[in-house]
Structure 1
Amino acid sequence: EPAKLSDGWAMAVFSVPESERSYRYQLRTRLSWLGFGNIAPGVWLAPGRLLGDARDMLVRLGLSDYVHLFAADYAAFSELPETVSSWWDFPAIEEQYAGFTQAYGPLAAQLTEQRDIDGAEAFRAYVPMLTQWRRLPYLDPGLPAELLPADWNAVAARQIFQQLNEVLAAPGLRHVQEVTGLSEEPPGSGAV
């Protein structure tokens, strides 16, 4: 789900002494996983809604002493859509979405025609599809739609995921329950 431009930005500014440079690598890695883009050395930016997640992550990992977090607005001096594309690697993100679409688009098209889906077949398709999909939200910062390329391919990939999730999840779960003998009811919720 794209962020709203009106929500502003989360900005992380950090400085790590050379003697502790492993923290610098850890900060870069974690901020990028969270969806931050690198706008200058030690300066990272993300949609404003990620501010709380960034704060929690930095405290949890003991990295908060090295970072200043800001809630920010973009004020002036360049066209934001062009500038933003230099802060995030759009081609790499689009390549991942394209790979998902190529891998699972034909299956989504096929399953719209199919009425009854075998549980084992659903499970076999669902697990690798979900595994591949789960990486994508970490690569995609969820930037406001106005800042994305007009042909941003995340939209098509998201539709394929939602369609396959809707069609495969329930029969796949039933298959797992049949094989394992486990139900989806939490322990202790059954009648005595």
Structure 2
Amino acid sequence: MCEHVAFIVSGVIRVAKIGENGKEVNLYRVCRGESCVLTISSVLSHSPFPATAIVEEDAEAIIVPKDTFTTMMATNTQLQTFVYDMMMNRFMAMMQMIEHIVFEKMDKRLIEFLLDRCKINKTNMIEMTHEHIAIELGTAREVVSRILKQLEREGYVQLARGKIKIVDKERLCDKFATM
């Protein structure tokens, strides 16, 4: 059970579920100005924290003891609204993630991930292992490696250890649009 609620001031915390077999799937990230909805749920329901929190970028947080947080939730409508909005946003994001996993083919999801990373990083070079990508997408490393190898054979990407270079971003966008 969680004893505190953390409100992130800076940094990034990744929240993941790790199965008994060691497979890991990312649920969401907690960034500046946010708190972990699973922590809040654990505190409010007096139940165990059902995931693992991993610091991705050095983080600073305001730590609120569970008793103080519970009292604040009962009396502070601004905090209630903040928490409910945050929970709704996480719920909607989780629904979208489930839709992607269930209804979209993995090659399309991987291409979308690569294009998003290019946009976020403002470069065509993605420095990330196949294992890390697999965790992000909730699949096996072998699946990611097989699809990336196919994309390399087709001339969309170049692969190197821990790096993926998008060779022809426009063609890759076109491929994504027709999937």
TM range (shorter): 0.3 to 0.5
TM-score for the superposition, normalised by structure 2: 0.33
Structure showing the higher helix proportion among its residues: 1
TM-score for the superposition, normalised by structure 1: 0.31
Bigger relative contact order, structure 1 or 2, given CA contacts below 8 A and separation 6+?
Answer: 1
Structure showing the higher strand proportion among its residues: 2
